[in-house]
């Protein structure tokens, strides 16, 4: 995919995001800024920033303050948790704020305990929504395979990083995902018809839950990560397909 095509693709993402009725609360400025919102820190102590070189292995790391942080496995997500696709993100933030001292709004320190809490919370919410909706399903969502056609997190992903990735939402509220002909994992989901939100819980406890607000267009949909499980800066374009790639 050429650079011009990449820019065109995500310019359309951003345009569609503004038009999508459930996403109007996010301004174009936030989209162009890569969904980064920061407050200047009033103290002279430099705030630690999440390491963006983490490898998604489901492993724990002890920080200098003796707190065990946790790097979830990717699961369906085409971007490792806590990793920015923009290698110059921190430099841009400092230049924008005019200071090296800042603190991210709503910053999350991921631990194994927090991930377990999120999983239990998501399972409870998923069950509650299933009971509420009964047999009602989104037929568009379950009628096809969905192929990852674009990823945005602070900047656009290299297409090679998500080539061949797919997901299939089944009518029994299960999903499976993989790369090309290989199935990599599976889990349980629910699509809330009232506000076009999908919540996903992987069968692998080393993978964190996901929640997306969904926008449909002819031939594709766009998944907008929510703040529920700290994915507000993630967007994924999914193309319809009758088969695995």
- Where does residue 110 rank: exposed (0-12), middle (13-18), buried (19+ CB within 10 A)? buried
Closest to 167 measured CA to CA, from 212, 122, 218, 123: 212
Q: How far apart are CA 172 and CA 157, in angstroms?
A: 32
Backbone angles phi, psi at 165, to 5 degrees: -80, 140
Residue 103 has a pLDDT of: 63
CB atoms within 10 A of CB 190: 23
* Interacting residues of 53 by C-beta distance below 8 A, sequence separation 6+: 83
- Tokens 């061949």 belong to which residue? 164
Instruction: Say how far residue 82 (Cα) sits from the centre of its chain.
Output: 10
Closest to 79 measured CA to CA, from 181, 4, 155: 155
Tokens at 134, concatenated: 């009964």
- Tokens 């609360």 belong to which residue? 25
Q: How far apart are CA 15 and CA 28, in angstroms?
A: 8
Q: How far apart are CA 157 and CA 57, in angstroms?
A: 20
CA angle at 75 for the pair 132 and 180, rounded to the nearest 5°: 110
What is the DSSP track for 222-243? EEEE-TTTT-TT-EEEEEEESS
Backbone angles phi, psi at 60, to 5 degrees: -105, 145
CATH architecture for the domain at 122-241: Beta Barrel (2.40)
Closest to 77 measured CA to CA, from 233, 244, 218: 233
Query: Mean pLDDT in each 10-residue stretch from start to end of the chain (245 residues)?
Result: 44 49 36 35 34 48 64 96 88 79 73 97 94 85 96 94 97 96 97 91 98 94 96 96 94
Q: How far apart are CA 4 and CA 7, in angstroms?
A: 5
Instruction: Say how far residue 144 (Cα) sits from the centre of its chain.
Output: 21
Residue 8 has a pLDDT of: 44
Which H or E run contains 31?
A: helix 28-32
The full set of domain ranges for the chain reads 122-241
């Amino acid at each position: 995919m050429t650079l011009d095509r990449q820019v065109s693709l995500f310019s359309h993402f951003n345009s569609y995001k503004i038009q999508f009725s459930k996403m109007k609360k996010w301004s174009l400025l936030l989209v162009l800024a890569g969904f980064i919102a920061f407050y200047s820190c009033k103290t002279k102590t430099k705030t630690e920033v999440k390491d963006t070189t983490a490898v998604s292995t489901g492993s724990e790391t002890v920080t200098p303050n003796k707190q065990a942080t946790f790097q979830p496995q990717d699961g369906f997500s085409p971007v490792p948790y806590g990793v920015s696709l923009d290698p110059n993100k921190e430099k841009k933030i400092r230049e924008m704020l005019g200071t090296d001292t800042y603190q991210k709004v709503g910053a999350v320190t991921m631990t194994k305990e927090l991930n377990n809490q999120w999983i239990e919370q998501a399972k409870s919410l998923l069950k509650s929504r299933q009971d509420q909706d009964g047999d009602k399903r989104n037929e568009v969502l379950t009628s096809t395979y969905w192929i990852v056609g674009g990823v945005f997190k602070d900047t656009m992903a290299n297409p090679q990083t998500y080539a061949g990735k797919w997901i299939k939402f089944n009518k029994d509220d299960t999903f499976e995902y993989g790369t090309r002909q290989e199935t990599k994992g599976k889990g349980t989901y629910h699509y809330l018809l009232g506000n076009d939100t999908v919540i996903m819980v992987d069968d692998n406890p080393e993978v964190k839950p996901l929640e997306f607000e969904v926008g449909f267009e002819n031939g594709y949909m766009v998944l907008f990560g929510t703040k529920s499980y700290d994915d507000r800066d993630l967007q994924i374009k999914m193309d319809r397909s009758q088969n695995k790639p």
